[in-house]
Amino acid sequence: MSCTPAQLANARRARERFAQRRAVMPKIPCGCGCGEQIPPITALGQPARFRVGHVARLRHVGVRFGDRPPWNKGKPYPRMRGNKYGELLRGRPGRKPTEETRRKLSESHRGKPSPLRGRPLSAETRMKLSAAMRGRKLSPEHIAKISGPNNPHWRGGIGLLPYGPGFTRRLRRLIRERDGHRCQRCRRTSADLGYTLPVHHLDHDKANNDPTNLVASCHRCNVWASYHRDETFVLAMEVA
């Protein structure tokens, strides 16, 4: 099912009307305690609690960084029943794990996202990482080790498959115009980003070029979708 130009125009006008209504709504304070005022709903129509990017400022729900010291600072790792890390390190408080323990921890965590993802890094840590990686080149052996079937995100090389014959420049231009040249996940525009937005396939099938399966997306959200294929990229929007 393809969208007609009139349907695309109606959808664009509906999004513009929604943005205007959202702009005049009474503001509410951000839930992280920063003091900034935000609209009561997000750009996708969901109830808003935090400003974009402010959820990572929280250490625990309702607690900001620096409000009070962490409860477990200077204490040994908790020995909880069923905790694989606690079981492996049981009876070894204050001692470094052995090579066998490191290997077990690495195997138990392989293929899972890093527990530090989303945690902000200090300026000193960023400078150290930059200095350590400056001028560093990966060896062919290391590249072969982290690529292809050796990578936990490997899906059989489906990313190298060609696009369908209907995925033309004209179709991509119509999709961008339909979405108002705005990423349908983070809501940033091509004018803010400084480049033309790519078009993303919602079902990750490059041969399915139905307009209902295509949305405008920025590079960052397009990469995010590659690692979160089971999550929803864009929610249903208001259509006139």
How many domains does the chain divide into?
Answer: 3
Q: Which two tokens stand for residue 205?
A: 């099938």
User: Is the domain of 45 the same as that of 81?
Assistant: no
Alpha-carbon span 126 to 120, nearest angstrom: 10
> Over 90: is that where the pLDDT of 65 sits?
no
Look at residue 58 and tell me if it is in a domain: yes
Give the highest mean pLDDT range of 40-44, 96-100, 176-180, 233-237.
176-180
User: Is the domain of 80 the same as that of 100?
Assistant: yes
Residue 25: the pLDDT is 85
Which residues form the domain of 198?
169-227
3-state SS string for the chain: CCCCHHHHHHHHHHHHHHHHHHHCCCCEECCCCCCCEECCECCCCCECCCCCCCHHHEEECCEECCCCCCCCCCCCCCCCCCCHHHHHCCCCCCCCCCHHHHHHHHHHHCCCCCCCCCCCCCHHHHHHHHHHHCCCCCCHHHHHHHCHHHCCCCCCCHHHCCCCCCCCHHHHHHHHHHCCCECCCCCCEHHHHCCCCCEEECCCCCCCCCHHHEEECCHHHHHHHHHCCCCCCCCCCCCC
Look at residue 189 and tell me if it is in a domain: yes
User: Is the domain of 17 the same as that of 60?
Assistant: yes
Q: pTM value?
A: 0.40
Pairing of strands 58-60, 63-64: antiparallel
Look at residue 131 and tell me if it is in a domain: no
Look at residue 123 and tell me if it is in a domain: no
Look at residue 71 and tell me if it is in a domain: no
Q: 182-227 pLDDT, tens per residue?
A: 998 888 898 888 899 999 988 888 888 888 889 999 999 988 888 8
User: Is the domain of 50 the same as that of 81?
Assistant: no
User: Is the domain of 50 the same as that of 88?
Assistant: no
Q: What percent of the chain has pLDDT over 90?
A: 10
